[in-house]
Amino acid sequence: MTLRLKKLQSFKGRKGPLLLIIMDGIGLGVQDGSNAVYLAKTPALDRLFSSRLFCALRAHGTAVGLPSDDDMGNSEVGHNALGAGRVFDQGARLVNRAIESGRIFKTSLWEDIVRRVKQGGALHFIGLFSDGNVHSNIGQLYKIIDKCVELGLERVCVHALLDGRDVGERSALDYIVPAEEKFRNINKERGFKYCIASGGGRMNVTMDRYNADWNIVKRGWDAHVLGKARDFSSAEEAVRTFYDEDPKMTDQYMGAFVVVDTNGRPVGPVMDGDAAVCFNFRGDRAIEISRAFTEKDFKEFDRGPLPDVLYAGMMQYDGDTNMPPDFLVQPPVIDRTISEYLCTEKVRSFAISETQKFGHVTYFWNGNRSGYIDPALETYVEIPSDRIEFDQAPRMKAIEIKDKTIEMLRQREYRFGRLNFANGDMVGHTGKMDAAIIAVETVDQCIARLLDVITELEGIAVVSADHGNSDVMFTVDKKGNKKVKTAHTLNPVPFAIYDPQYKGEYQMATIERPGLSNIAGTLLNLLGYENVEDYDPSLISGLT
């Protein structure tokens, strides 16, 4: 299919560049003491949010392809929607349908897994152990485990990565205790060996992303495969011990642990003849552990002897690198992203962020596609993230991103640029209010400087976000108890156009329940092109 854009007759765009600024994790929440975005001093954002060219956008649930409007958005599905211009069914929904229809159990891969386990192996499940529905859902895991029981698979081991980020920061026991009880009942009734075999906090064990810190993956490998970590008699004992030893310990940063039997031997390391499934459906934090299991020429750390394991992902986490080679559910096929159209029109563009969100403005923006669409027309810039808990350095790399963006804008070689400031999300996830306020204020200061440069270059800036986070830092229950909130929010996100040359050529459109997917068509309009016919409507009207 040939991709072509049609030029608007009434509007050619501005002389200068169009810059999209994505404020990761900065939503529009209730204006009270729980909202770091509201408490922060943000003169630049205040000005943008009070302009004529402003609206609020949905960034969660069905607006970004998730199963229901009770599901919080996330950076991956958000950037998919931003880059694709329409909504695709996303991981959680795809997996739900595959399980409910039984399709997941009718594939040759599942048959191979079952065959291997019935020949004496164990089936291992590795993934985020919560119902946050961002990376995984424990409900999906339970349905697959129930199928294992039905099929008579005798040995199942779960390697539980504790959340504390998309759910409550110290909620691990809400998942660990009933799981271990479920497994005890299965074992008693059927004579099977089902257990939680190892685990640890997601930000400390296994779930690194973007090659930020391979030591995180190594700690997971050592625990899950080699059976080397701190020993406990159960996962419940591990969590309670970590809590007792450090009252400030939160689940996401918990250390690695291994469950051992009465003789001190690990109850479920991954071994020759076993099968292993990563039950995360989201890709970014599942790619590296998948590489460790499947790459023959693996050099990131010393794995020891690689066991003969049939490894599969819940989904394929990176189609371009075929990672992992085996997977249970087909990912969404996202075609005809805005970048593909712009490359066809020979529009030069750049994308920039720090490591923590670099894949979002590239891989996810491009429809889960690695690498460049056209390296002759695109420039991608990654600023290495700090390897530190983000509340300790809440400014993160925003200033470096701002400075590099200004440098690239002033080259006058790029007509379109996009960037992501990670602060509102990554610092919001720590649950530390003071740090989140600094994070938001830093983003505001950087945006103010970027708007000055856009004015100087006679361009346009679009300021928005992919989902909320720092807009709710804690909740208060009916008894008045404050509970730290580290997860994303269900709040809408801001959308503002900064156009110093604006003379009323267009106005905000009237759209029922606008969302992130409406932004792509808006960007095309602001560049002087008609919207693509099957993209969601532009947020502006009046252009022909």
283 with 383, same domain: the answer is no
Mean pLDDT throughout 387-394?
Answer: 94
Predicted local confidence at residue 70, as pLDDT: 84
Q: Which of 420, 419, 415 is nearest to 526 (CA)?
A: 415
SS3 18: strand
Residue type at 341 in one-letter notation? Y
Q: Would you say residue 176 lies in a domain?
A: yes
Residue 226 has what DSSP assignment? S
Residue 324 has what DSSP assignment? S
312 with 345, same domain: the answer is no
Taking a C-beta distance cutoff of 8 angstroms, is the pair 140, 97 a contact? no
Q: How confident is the model at residue 370 (pLDDT cuts 50, 70, 90)?
A: confident
53 with 140, same domain: the answer is no
305 with 242, same domain: the answer is yes
User: Which strand (E) or helix (H) includes residue 402?
Assistant: helix 398-410
Predicted local confidence at residue 253, as pLDDT: 97
Mean pLDDT throughout 97-108?
Answer: 96
SS3 509: coil
Q: Would you say residue 10 lies in a domain?
A: no
Q: Would you say residue 4 lies in a domain?
A: no
SS3 456: helix
303 with 159, same domain: the answer is yes
Residue whose tokens read 């958005």: 73
Predicted local confidence at residue 319, as pLDDT: 65
Tokens representing 448 are: 């103010």
What does the angle CA 69 – CA 72 – CA 73 come to, to the nearest 5 degrees? Answer: 105
Task: Give catalytic residue positions.
Answer: 75
Q: Would you say residue 9 lies in a domain?
A: no
Distances (CA, A) of 254 to 172, 241, 285: 10, 11, 17
Predicted local confidence at residue 506, as pLDDT: 97
For residue 294, what is the domain's CATH number?
A: 3.40.1450.10
Is pLDDT at 269 greater than 70 in this prediction? yes
Taking a C-beta distance cutoff of 8 angstroms, is the pair 59, 468 a contact? yes
258 with 319, same domain: the answer is yes
**Of 329, 361, 381, which one is at a domain's C-terminal end?**
329
Residue type at 506 in one-letter notation? Y
SS3 529: strand
Q: Which of 215, 153, 218, 217 is nearest to 190 (CA)?
A: 153
Per residue in 442-486, pLDDT (tens digit) is 999 999 999 999 999 999 999 999 999 999 999 998 889 998 999
Q: Would you say residue 341 lies in a domain?
A: yes
Distances (CA, A) of 282 to 97, 287, 355, 543: 16, 9, 17, 38
Question: How much of the chain exceeds pLDDT 90, in percent?
Answer: 91
Is pLDDT at 330 greater than 90 in this prediction? no
Q: Would you say residue 286 lies in a domain?
A: yes
User: Which strand (E) or helix (H) includes residue 54?
Assistant: strand 54-57
Strand order in the sheet with 193-201: 230-232, 257-259, 193-201, 155-162, 123-128, 275-278, 310-315, 327-329
Dump the DSSP string for 55-106: EEEB-SGGGGT-SSTTSPP-HHHHHHHHHHSS----HHHHHHHHHHHTGGGS
Residue span of the structural domain in which 271 resides = 92-329
Taking a C-beta distance cutoff of 8 angstroms, is the pair 167, 127 a contact? no
Predicted local confidence at residue 1, as pLDDT: 61
**Of 329, 362, 380, which one is at a domain's C-terminal end?**
329
Taking a C-beta distance cutoff of 8 angstroms, is the pair 454, 8 a contact? no
SS (H, E, C) 419-453: EEECHHHHCHHHCCHHHHHHHHHHHHHHHHHHHHH
Residue 516 has what DSSP assignment? G
146 with 66, same domain: the answer is no
Tokens representing 291 are: 């590489």
Mean pLDDT throughout 300-311?
Answer: 96
Total domain count, the chain:
2
**Of 329, 349, 380, which one is at a domain's C-terminal end?**
329
32 with 156, same domain: the answer is no
309 with 387, same domain: the answer is no
Predicted local confidence at residue 477, as pLDDT: 86
Q: Would you say residue 3 lies in a domain?
A: no
249 with 366, same domain: the answer is no
For residue 56, what is the domain's CATH number?
A: 3.40.720.10
Average pLDDT, the chain: 96
Is pLDDT at 320 greater than 60 in this prediction? no
65 with 79, same domain: the answer is yes
Is pLDDT at 210 greater than 90 in this prediction? no
Predicted local confidence at residue 2, as pLDDT: 78
Q: How many CB atoms lie within 10 A of CB 177?
A: 15
First to last CA, the chain: 25
pTM: 0.80
Whole-number Å distance between alpha carbons of 358 and 362: 6
Q: What backbone phi and psi angles, to 5 degrees, belong to 180? A: -65, -30
Q: Would you say residue 6 lies in a domain?
A: no
248 with 106, same domain: the answer is yes
Residue 326 half-sphere exposure toward CB, CA atoms < 13 A: 19
